[in-house]
Structure 1
Amino acid sequence: MTSSPELPSHVLPDGVPVGIIADTHGLLREEALTCLGGCGLILHLGDVGQKAEDEEMLSHLAAIAPLYTVRGNIDTAPWAEELPMTQTLTVNGWRLHLVHRLEDFDAATPCDVILHGHSHKPRNEWQGERLLFNPGAAGKRRFKLPITVGKLWLGDAGIRRAILHLPI
């Protein structure tokens, strides 16, 4: 756990989670908003939506907590061109790297947690010294995959994490 001064940095009080959402595809469910309430930060891992009005969902998320977003492969509307392909920030000293597609992650990137979306499959596993975390998809159901969001609690003692199935 190391901090880098050039990265955006946040300190959250003990017990305050980081909310993680991905693959909304133009649908921001009330259940997702409820699950993300009380978060100190929200991270959207791409595939926000393709329509002009889909940008509004980022405003709804930013009204809950400070928001960081990366661009997904379907984020092709003019407003989405300003979204970065990747972002790295620190939270309570932990380096988080956001990317939509895991295959676009550069293994040389110094980070403790790789946050990714795209597959719609929740993932919560350590690979060596890095946590790979995919909150799954919170928008339109694909295949028979669950509708989910994620939360991370980042502290001195380590990282606690959860995948939350939305009650829909």
Structure 2
Amino acid sequence: MLIGVMSDSHDYIRGVRLAAKLFKEHGVELVVHLGDVVAPFTLRALREQGVRDAIIIYGNNDGERRLLERVAASLGYRIYEPPRIEVLGGVRIAMLHGWGSEEETLSVVEALAESGAVDVVLYGHTHKSRVEKRGAKIVLNPGETCGCLTGRMSVAILDTKTREASIHELGLREDHL
């Protein structure tokens, strides 16, 4: 199974559209958004770009939760509080956004990775892309879809069959200072 992984879109529709286009080109079957969608219109933009199946994990900037829930449900997307563990493509995957400082988020990520309870840990919040293989385990942060902190927009693709993951650059954010 090919899973498109994105995070921290922060309502930046250009990044969302580029992500959906890349996922479609690669034959992604499911998109996991690891939080900080922010507004429901971002979910609608994903659907308009052809994303039919998505799991959304709440982030610290997702304030309109009831409206996000209603819109996600109307689109056939699933939305969850973090952390969420699901078996996707035969692989046990932990999904979370993160909270507090980068160190706080990474301490939780590391605990999950070392726990033996999951095969893959997907997280966001830090806006820093990362793919780390530890034997058969993968720790993955797709970076930021919005490009608002680094100026670089990125997403990732996880192949559950081969247990490989890759970061994909979407380009530079044009209005980044």
Fold-level match, TM-score > 0.5? yes
Give the 3 Å change call, closer, same or farther, for CA 61–110 of structure 1 in structure 2: farther
Shift of 1:77: 1.8
2:153 maps to which of 147, 158, 161: 147
TM-score, structure 1 normalization:
0.76
Is 1:87–2:91 an aligned residue pair? no
1:16-165 equivalent positions in 2, closer than 5 A: 17-29=2-14, 30-37=17-24, 38-49=27-38, 54-62=39-47, 63-78=50-65, 79-80=67-68, 83-101=80-98, 102=105, 103-105=107-109, 107=112, 108=115, 110-127=117-134, 129-142=136-149, 144-155=150-161, 158-165=162-169
Q: Are the equivalent residues in 1 in contact too, given 2:35–2:62 (CA < 8 A)?
A: yes
Query: Cα RMSD over matched residues?
Result: 2.2
Aligned to 1:166, the other structure's residue is in SS state strand
Per the TM alignment, residue 47 of structure 1 is displaced from its structure 2 partner at its CA by 0.8
* Per-residue CA distance 1:77-105 (angstroms, 9 max, x = gap): 24357741222212221111100014445
How far did residue 140 of structure 1 move?
4.1
Name whichever of 72-81 and 133-142 sits farther off: 72-81
- CA drift of 1:146 comes to 2.0
Q: Share of identical aligned residues, percent?
A: 26
Higher share of residues assigned helix: 2
CA drift of 1:145 comes to 5.0
- Contact 1:71/1:80 (8 A) holds in 2: no
Displacement of 1:165 in angstroms is 0.4
Which residue identity does 1:48 align to in structure 2?
V
Measure, in 1, the Cα distance between the counterparts of 2:171 and 2:151. Answer: 14
Question: How many residues are paired up?
Answer: 146
Contiguous gaps of at least 5 residues in structure 2: 70-78, 99-104, 173-177
SS at match of 2:163: strand
- Structure 1 residues not aligned, in runs of 5+: 1-11
Matched position secondary structure for 1:167: strand
Q: Deviations over 1:46-102 (max 9, x none)?
A: 0111xxxx2122233354131111111111124357741222212221111100014
| SS of the residue 2:21 aligns to | helix
How far apart are 1:129 and its partner, in Å?
4.9
Q: Which residue identity does 1:149 align to in structure 2?
A: V
What's the CA shift for 1:109? Answer: 7.0
Q: Which amino acid aligns with 1:90?
A: V
